[in-house]
Amino acid sequence: MPELPEVETIRRALKHGGRGAESIVGRQVLESRLLWERTLAEPTQIEFQERILGQGITDIDRRGKFLLLQLSTDTLIFHLRMSGDLNVVNENEPIASHDRLWLGLDGGLRLSFNDTRKFGRAWLVPDPHAVTANLGPEPLGEGFTAHDFHARLLAHRRQLKPLLMDQSFLAGLGNIYTDEALHLSKLHPLQISDTLNETQSGRLWSSIRQVLQEGIERQGASIDWVYKGGDFQNYFRVYQRTGEPCPECGNPIQRITVGQRGTHYCQNCQPQSS
DNA sequence: ACGAGCGCCTGTCGGC
DNA sequence: TGCCGACAGGCGCTCG
């Protein structure tokens, strides 16, 4: 579930309440349990237990697809990868079947990291920068200008889709929102980054921001058995719509593989130019 | 510098 | 019904 809009939706729920739970800001960690060892990237399980007990949750931030729980002295960072989610439940609730790590909080709450496919990771570190240092700019950040984006595109000679999904180039896009942004900007997923003129890169810049903003407003997308509450999936332009009519021109949506990822686009609206 | 292949995991779906 | 491959919102690694 996790691209920028889904992570942002979870962040807001943890910070302000929502998704059927109350805010965890201001709560204190009283207990911790690691149920799948590899979920904890850093530090060791022993050190994790020792360090986190007693720390208070002071704020919830996001950087790209990383969720940052600011604690009294450390930062607890989660990356949800393919199937991760964070739930706040009453401590009387049974442990869910794919819970991998959970924290007992004061007030009778439990924060649990649930992750069917076990790709997700957690870090407890003194300095969050150690984990997020290699990320590119925030696409919705004020410092991310169309001008800078164009310069960054020209600095590489790469296919647009894999480049946009490279988190060191831009932080937050995944398979869904990349396909959506490319279709909205009428650019082919295989077009080479340094062939874009300023008009094209400007269109891509605003398309990326538009689809991410819409995703956040719709509280993310809910697909397959992983239900999160958002409904952006009902507004996909091309993603997983192979063979269905393009919303712009009516031609059937094509599916190809780019960088080992399913890629959806319209041959007519997104011509291969170079 | 870049792209392809693969590993990490569990689950669903369609075809035979 | 059972089995089997394809596929799934991500990313780190190796190898050309």
3-state secondary structure A77-88: EEECCCCEEEEE
Alpha-carbon gap, residue A33 to A266, rounded angstroms? 47
* Sequence-separated contacts (24+) of A17-23 with Cβ below 8 Å: A19/A228, A19/A229, A21/A87, A21/A88, A21/A89, A22/A88, A22/A109
Alpha-carbon gap, residue A137 to A118, rounded angstroms? 27
Element containing residue A11 per DSSP (H, E): helix A4-16
Residue A162 is a catalytic residue: no
The answer to whether the beta carbon of residue A225 comes closer than 7 angstroms to any atom of strand B is yes
In the complex, which nucleotide's C1' lies nearest to the CA atom of residue A166?
Answer: C11
**Cβ atoms within 10 Å, residue A46:** 8
Q: What is the structure's pLDDT at A226?
A: 66
Domains parsed from chain A with CATH numbers: 4-132 (3.20.190.10), 146-265 (1.10.8.50)
The answer to whether the beta carbon of residue A117 comes closer than 7 angstroms to any atom of strand B is yes
The answer to whether the beta carbon of residue A38 comes closer than 7 angstroms to any atom of strand B is yes
Query: For chain C, which bases have at least one atom within 7 A of a protein Cβ?
Result: 7-12
Alpha-carbon gap, residue A75 to A125, rounded angstroms? 5
Q: What is the structure's pLDDT at A1?
A: 61
Q: For residue A210, what are its two tokens?
A: 């538009």
CB A11 within 8 A of CB A67: yes
CB A254 within 8 A of CB A47: no
Q: Which residue from A55, A43, A38, A64 is spatially nearest to A111, judged by alpha carbons?
A: A55
Residue whose structure tokens are 């204190």: A28
User: What is the sign of the dihedral through the CA atoms of A198, A204, A207 and A209?
Assistant: negative
Q: What is the structure's pLDDT at A261?
A: 96
Beta bridge partners of A195: none
In the complex, which nucleotide's C1' lies nearest to the CA atom of residue A162?
Answer: B3
Residue A128 is a catalytic residue: no
Ranges of chain A whose pLDDT falls below 50: none
Dihedral (Cα; A117, A134, A265, A8), 10-degree rounding: 60
Classified as helix, coil or strand, A85 is strand
Output the distance from A22 CA to B6 C1' rounded to whole Å: 41
CB A183 within 8 A of CB A269: yes
Residue whose structure tokens are 């943890």: A14
Residue of A11, A19, A152, A261 with catalytic role: A261
Residue A248 is a catalytic residue: no
Residue A65 is a catalytic residue: yes
Q: What is the structure's pLDDT at A20?
A: 78
